[in-house]
Amino acid sequence: MTEPLPAHLFDEATRVTAGDSRWQGRTSPDYWAFVGPFGGVTAATVLRALIEHPQVQGDPLAVTVNYCAPIAEGPFDLDVRLVKANRSSQHWCVELSQGDADAATLATAVFAERRPSWSHQPAQMPDAPPFSEVKRHPDTNMSWTRQYDFRFVEGRPALGASATGEPHSSYSRLWISDRKPRKLDCLSLLSMSDAFFGRVFHARGELVPFGTVSLTTYLHVSREELAAEDITHVLATADAKVFNRSYQDQHGELWSPSGRLLATTTQIAYFKA
Amino acid sequence: MTEPLPAHLFDEATRVTAGDSRWQGRTSPDYWAFVGPFGGVTAATVLRALIEHPQVQGDPLAVTVNYCAPIAEGPFDLDVRLVKANRSSQHWCVELSQGDADAATLATAVFAERRPSWSHQPAQMPDAPPFSEVKRHPDTNMSWTRQYDFRFVEGRPALGASATGEPHSSYSRLWISDRKPRKLDCLSLLSMSDAFFGRVFHARGELVPFGTVSLTTYLHVSREELAAEDITHVLATADAKVFNRSYQDQHGELWSPSGRLLATTTQIAYFKA
């Protein structure tokens, strides 16, 4: 007899127990951020509840997660609702809450039949040396960041460099992998789409209070196409266009090593500076 | 006695009648698209219901609209729900439905207090001759497009040019104004963020079946800042990164003539080609 393999921490952190319209999950200390779970894992947990839902059809196409309030350590409920379905797409709404409190997270997701069509990728994959040739970024003291392997090709955060004077570039290009390699699926891809350091940290060269308010990620490949890539890391880029009145934007891309654009992502985040 | 000024068609098209959690609106023949109302006006109608809501606080920051099904000509209900509020932000969920049918549109919106902060705009306004010096694009036979004045600086659609061979560029840069000039506010800005022709039309040089599935727009200025610009047109850019398995992305920017980034937008859309 062989022991079952221990689950990957990411799979443990995003585990949900089945319900019909109501699912349960639990925060993981392994993916903790400033005041709650890492938003990428929360998004992936929501998506996992949908993917494991008996009524789900098609592939995840678009996910928007609004982070309404911090999630406290411990269990949470996922209220899952299929708002509208037709032959080719499904629209879902998910609310995450704890006890009798208001929702802490409000998410929408679109699933779609990814039928073969004309295909064209105007975007170009950015240059980068292979993953294995780029040095891993040193650990920070935030638990979620230690679950990833960040390999900066350009725009590594230079915190403490200078918080005054001219802003630094807010652009980053880096390889991202689960620290313990895990075959990329739509769950980890969604999580990685939130796995950038705050653009304001880069621009100002210092940590400031920061929190993602709303994240939207589009997946540009079917689950079958993603599985066929058979990869454990992506080349990711992120940048910001504007910081104004306590909010910044961020937009990013996630590429397979073979040069395929797997996902695009955007978010708006609060900062105090 | 003077007659009251006739309302702008945009204000008529986005009119809502007050309710508490349930509001009413009506589609407008002036803003009709392929199989339902122009999505920008639907988004603006949702936002108007929130802005006129007695409980609303702060400025609209992020709006996501999922177009679940076509809206039929006639009246519709808006089910408006404040999901979570705190001192600095509000999270709203809005469902648009007709009669007893499932929701046709599912939207979320974040409002926030736009407190003064460090400000920085890494993005550069693209070059363009002034609005008055660019030729207006000829009318199409779709009613909503006739409510706008499109002045292409680059990437005007060349439909019928060639549907075969190498794809054309999917990038456009253009001035957009309400046809009858109307002072830009957050409603018309949101609507304009959906006022691009399908990128697939540009890339393929032909019209094909097309529909926006999910739209996300971030507003980067407070309503006060927007009012201070005192403008009736924006410089807008849009491009696509990938067309695959019946879906395309689009990302865009909307600039004030003074060089301020007012909004960024992204959407995922269905196409058949």
- Domains of chain A (ranges; CATH) run 10-113+134-271 (2.40.160.210)
Q: How far apart are CA B45 and CA A47, in angstroms?
A: 29
Q: How far apart are CA B23 and CA A149, in angstroms?
A: 49
Q: Are strands B261-271 and B89-97 parallel, antiparallel or unpaired?
A: unpaired
Q: Please report the ipTM that was assigned to this predicted complex.
A: 0.96
Q: How far apart are CA A107 and CA A105, in angstroms?
A: 6
CA angle (B87, B92, B96) in 5-degree steps: 165
B54 by Cβ neighbours in 10 Å (0-12 / 13-18 / 19+) ranks as exposed
Helix, strand, coil share of chain A (percent; to 5):
20, 35, 45
- Per-residue pLDDT of A255-268, as tens digits, reads 999 999 999 999 99
Q: Which of A202, A204, A186 is nearest to A254 (CA)?
A: A186
Q: What is the pLDDT of residue B141?
A: 84
User: What phi and psi, each to the nearest 5 degrees, are found at residue A132?
Assistant: -65, -20
Q: Which residues in chain A are contacts of B121 at CB distance < 8 A?
A: 241-244
User: What phi and psi, each to the nearest 5 degrees, are found at residue A19?
Assistant: -145, -170
Nearest CA in chain B to A168: B122
B5 by Cβ neighbours in 10 Å (0-12 / 13-18 / 19+) ranks as exposed
Predicted confidence band of residue A1 (pLDDT cuts 50, 70, 90): low
Collapsing DSSP to helix, strand or coil, A54 comes out as coil
Residue ranges in chain B whose pLDDT is less than 70: 1-3, 20, 161-164
Q: Which of A139, A164, A169 is nearest to A154 (CA)?
A: A169
Collapsing DSSP to helix, strand or coil, B241 comes out as coil
Q: Which of A217, A206, A220, A210 is nearest to A248 (CA)?
A: A210
Largest Cα separation within chain B, whole Å, is 64
| Residue contact B244–A117, C-beta within 8 A | yes
Q: How far apart are CA A246 and CA A241, in angstroms?
A: 14
Nearest CA in chain B to A261: B242
8 A C-beta contact, residue A62 and residue A168: no
Q: Which residues in chain A are contacts of B114 at CB distance < 8 A?
A: 244-247
Looking at chain B, the number of H-run helices and the number of E-run strands are 5, 12
Contacts of A190 (CB under 8 A, 6+ apart): A40, A43, A44, A47, A60, A63, A217, A219, A263
Which two structure tokens, joined as six digits, stand for B169?
């560029």
- Per-residue pLDDT of B133-192, as tens digits, reads 999 999 888 899 999 999 999 999 888 766 567 899 999 999 999 999 999 999 999 999
CB pairs under 8 A between A and B: 226
Collapsing DSSP to helix, strand or coil, A84 comes out as strand
| Residue contact A121–B241, C-beta within 8 A | yes
Of B216, B221, B242, which has the smallest distance from its Cβ to A123's Cβ? Answer: B242
Nearest CA in chain B to A222: B245
**DSSP tag of B31:** G
User: What phi and psi, each to the nearest 5 degrees, are found at residue A225?
Assistant: -65, -40
Q: Which residues in chain B are contacts of A244 at CB distance < 8 A?
A: 114, 117, 119-121, 220-221
Question: What is the average pLDDT across A90-101?
Answer: 96
When computed from its CA atoms, the radius of gyration of chain A, rounded to whole angstroms, is: 18
Nearest CA in chain B to A250: B264
| Residue contact A121–B270, C-beta within 8 A | no
Q: How far apart are CA B218 and CA A66, in angstroms?
A: 13
Nearest CA in chain A to B109: A66
B57 by Cβ neighbours in 10 Å (0-12 / 13-18 / 19+) ranks as middle
| Residue contact B241–A222, C-beta within 8 A | no
Collapsing DSSP to helix, strand or coil, A108 comes out as strand
Question: What is the average pLDDT across A46-58?
Answer: 96
- Cα torsion through A171, A175, A176, A180, rounded to 10: -150
Q: What is the pLDDT of residue B150?
A: 98
Looking at chain A, the number of H-run helices and the number of E-run strands are 5, 12
Q: What is the pLDDT of residue B162?
A: 60
Query: If phi over 0 gives left and psi between -120 and 50 gives alpha, with beta otherwise, what is residue A14?
Result: alpha
Q: How far apart are CA A92 and CA A111, in angstroms?
A: 8
The whole-angstrom distance between A147's CA and the closest CA on chain B is 29
The whole-angstrom distance between A89's CA and the closest CA on chain B is 8
**DSSP tag of A36:** S
Residue whose pair of structure tokens reads 């698209």 in the numeric block: B33
- Per-residue pLDDT of A175-233, as tens digits, reads 999 999 999 999 999 999 999 999 999 999 999 999 999 999 999 999 999 999 999 99
8 A C-beta contact, residue B249 and residue B241: yes
Q: Which residues in chain A are contacts of B102 at CB distance < 8 A?
A: 83-84
**DSSP tag of B167:** P
Q: Which residues in chain B are contacts of A121 at CB distance < 8 A?
A: 241-244
* Residue B138 to residues B153, B163, B194, Cα–Cα distance (Å): 14, 21, 19
Q: How far apart are CA B103 and CA B67, in angstroms?
A: 9
The whole-angstrom distance between B8's CA and the closest CA on chain A is 31
Q: How far apart are CA B190 and CA B184, in angstroms?
A: 10
Q: What is the pLDDT of residue A134?
A: 98
Which two structure tokens, joined as six digits, stand for B144?
């909503």
8 A C-beta contact, residue A267 and residue A194: yes
Mean pLDDT score across all residues of chain A: 94
Contacts of B52 (CB under 8 A, 6+ apart): B16, B18
- Per-residue pLDDT of A15-44, as tens digits, reads 999 876 789 999 999 999 988 999 999 999
* Residue B84 amino acid letter: K
**DSSP tag of B37:** B
